[in-house]
Structure 1
C-alpha cells in the first residue's frame, strides 16, 4: 500500500522541499500540490489523497478554513505546518480544532538543514497518518462526525467564543503520602531516580510492516471494555499520557470532569514549549476544573490538572509527594515531556494508588513507565484502537499485557466525572 500525499503551501521553497524529502520514500507517492486553500480543497476532492500537508497562512483561503471544508466534503488526515511562535501555536490549535490530525514545525532553518531530523519527522508522521483508520469506511469518525458536523470542527470541541467560564469550586490540596501497606506492591528503591527509557519497537511482525510507525507494536484485535463493567480504582492521582491526536482527546475528556473532581491530574502531551502554554490556557477556559502549565513546585490539588511543559520533564517530587518537579531530564530521552518519566515518578510516589491513562499517539512512550506502575499494583486504562487518531502508544501498553481496561474515548470522561469530592 502506497500512501498518497497532497502538498499545500504558497511557498515554492516548502513545496519543493517537502516533495524532495518524500520522493525518496518508496511507501509514499506525492500525487499533487496546491498553492492556496481554494486549490487545496479542489485537489482534495479530485485526487482523494490519504494525507495532506497544509500550510496555515495562504492567499484566497487559509489553511484552517480549507481544513474545515475538507473535513466536511472529503475527510482526510491533514498534517499542519506552522511556526513555533505563540501565534503559531494558537493557529495550530485552531487547525486541530477544525479537524487536522497533527502538526510539524515550519522552522526555515530546520527545513534548509540537510540532516535527517526533519526528514524522519515528516516521513514518520505521514506514514502513521496514512495507515490510520480514522477516515476508513465505517470508522468511528464517520459515525460520530457526519459531514454536517465536520465543517464545524467537531473533532475537537474547543469553544473559544464561549462568553463565560463555568463556575467551579476552589480545589483543595491533597494530604499525606499514600499507604505502603498494600500487599500487592513490591518494594522500589527510593534512594535514587530509576532510569526510564522509551520502549523499543516490538519484534512481532504486523500485517503491514511498511506502514507501522517506529516504536509501535503489532496490531491485535482487542475487545473494547464496556464502561458498565469497569470499576473505578482506589486511587490518589490520575496521570494521562498522549501524543498525536491528544489535544482533541484530552479536551474531550477534561471538559466532562466536574469542578469538584476528587483527584489531582497530571497531563503529558508531546508538544513544544510554546504550544503547551497556549494549550493549557485554552483548556482552562473550557473546563470546569482548573488547567495550567506546570511549574516547578506546583502543588497537586483535587480539581487541578497540571500540563507538563514542552521541552522539559514533569515528575512528582520524591520528597514531597503533593508537589511536582519540572526538570531538564535525561538528554538521551526522545520525548520532552516523556510519559515514561511522569509515569515512573507516579509509581515511586503513589504506588498502587495511581490511575494511569494512555491515549492516542505515535510510538511507545509510556509503555516502560506503565510496567513500573503495574509492578506497583496501579490501574492502567488504554484508549481503544477505533477511537484513536494513531493507535501506537495505547497499542504498546495493550500488547504488553499492562492494560486493565481498553476504553472508547467517549467512555473515559463519564467514568472520571463520577468521582466527586464528598461534602
Structure 2
C-alpha cells in the first residue's frame, strides 16, 4: 500500500511540482494539499496522512506553529522544506525542535527541473521519515528501556555492572536524521565539568552547522563552536564539523582539528566514517565513538577501523532512535561495545569516562 502524503506550501507552483514528483513513485501518493498551516492541521485530522511535507513561511499559520499543533493532536512525521541560509537554518532547527523529523532544501530550480536525483531524494526522505519514531518526535514521555551491551557477535545481553573506560581522550559523535534533537537532549544534561573534547559530525548543509553550533552553545554548559582549521582540542569544548567539508582529528601537539575540502565522490559532507577513521589512526584506544540516530550506514567503516585500533564504540538503541539506520549498521556489523538509550548517553559520558 502506498504511503499517503499531505503537501503543505503556499506556492501553487511548488505544490504542483512536489505533488507530481511524489506521485511518480509507486510507493507514494499525495492525498491532499494545503496552502497554510491551519489547513494542514484540519487535513491531517480528516485525511490521516502517513507523512506531511511542510513549508515554513505561509499566511494564516506558519509551518512551525502547525508542526507543534499537529504533534499535540495527531502526531505524524513531518518533512520540512528549508531555505539554505543562516536564518533558514535557525527556522529549520526551530521546526525540528517542534517535532519535524527531517528537512530538505527548498530549491525552486531543482524542483522545476524535476530531475531524477530530486525525485529519488524526496522519495527516500519521505519513506525514511514514515518509518521514524513518532513517539520521539511527538515528545512523548517513555520509560527508559533497559540498557544493554553487545557481545562480540553483536547480540545483546543485560548490561549489569559497567567497567569505566579509562584513558579516553576524545569523544566523536556521529549522527544524521533525528540528530539535532538528540544532540540537544544530550548537551542540555551533560555536566559543565565534563573534561574531554567532543567532536560532532552531523549531516547538515554548509549554511546550517554554524547556526546549530550556536544553538548547542546556548543550551549547554560546555563551549560549543563550529570547528575551524587548526582548532586545538580542549577539555570541555565541543567542535561541530562544518557542513560541506570533512573533519579529521590529529593527536600530535596536544590534539587538533583539520578541515578539508571534500571529494565529490564521498556521499556525506561531513562524513562520520572519515572522522572516526582519523580518530582510529591518531587516538586508537583513547577514542570513544558514539553513533546516534540517522539514515544509511555512515560510520560503519570508520567504526570498524576504530575497533581495530582498540577504540570503543557505543550505539543508540532502536527504541529511542528517530531513524534506526546508522546505529543498526554498526550493531549488525558486531562493532558495538554498548547499546545506549538516548536518555542515558549524557549520564554514561559523565560517569563512565
**TM superposition score normalised by structure 1:** 0.77
Match of 1:381 among 279, 294, 314: 314
Say if 1:224 and 1:406, in contact at 8 Å, map to a contact too: no
Match of 2:140 among 144, 147, 164: 144
Separation in structure 1 between the aligned mates of residue 112 and residue 233 of structure 2, nearest angstrom: 43
**TM superposition score normalised by structure 2:** 0.92
Say if 1:262 and 1:419, in contact at 8 Å, map to a contact too: no
Higher strand share: 2
Instruction: Structure 1: give runs of 5+ residues left out of the alignment.
Output: 147-220
Higher helix share: 2
Establish whether residue 232 from structure 1 lines up as the match of residue 164 from structure 2. yes
Structure 1 residues 73, 342: CA separation in 2 closer, same or farther (over 3 Å shift)? same
Structure 1 residues 301, 53: CA separation in 2 closer, same or farther (over 3 Å shift)? same
CA shift for structure 1 position 60: 0.4
Aligned residue runs from structure 1 range 105-254, under 5 A: 105-132=105-132, 134-135=133-134, 139=135, 144-145=140-141, 223=156, 226=159, 229-234=161-166, 235-254=168-187
Match of 2:234 among 301, 310, 321: 301
Greater shift, 119-128 or 72-81, is seen at: 119-128
CA shift for structure 1 position 317: 3.0
CA shift for structure 1 position 399: 0.5
- Deviation string, structure 1 residues 360-385 (Cα, Å, up to 9, x no partner): 00000000000000111111000011
Separation in structure 1 between the aligned mates of residue 140 and residue 264 of structure 2, nearest angstrom: 41
What's 1:217 paired with? Answer: none
Say if 2:101 and 2:137, in contact at 8 Å, map to a contact too: no
- Deviation string, structure 1 residues 265-308 (Cα, Å, up to 9, x no partner): 00000001111000000110110011000000000011000000
Separation in structure 1 between the aligned mates of residue 219 and residue 267 of structure 2, nearest angstrom: 31
Separation in structure 2 between the aligned mates of residue 397 and residue 113 of structure 1, nearest angstrom: 37
What's 2:273 paired with? Answer: 340
- Deviation string, structure 1 residues 119-167 (Cα, Å, up to 9, x no partner): 22111110111122x12xxx56678349xxxxxxxxxxxxxxxxxxxxx
Aligned residue runs from structure 1 range 43-82, under 5 A: 43-82=43-82
Separation in structure 2 between the aligned mates of residue 54 and residue 225 of structure 1, nearest angstrom: 41
CA shift for structure 1 position 117: 2.1
Say if 1:256 and 1:417, in contact at 8 Å, map to a contact too: no
Say if 2:200 and 2:240, in contact at 8 Å, map to a contact too: yes
Say if 2:251 and 2:283, in contact at 8 Å, map to a contact too: no
What's 1:201 paired with? Answer: none
Separation in structure 2 between the aligned mates of residue 46 and residue 140 of structure 1, nearest angstrom: 23
Tell me how large the CA RMSD over aligned residues is. Answer: 1.9
What's 1:31 paired with? Answer: 31
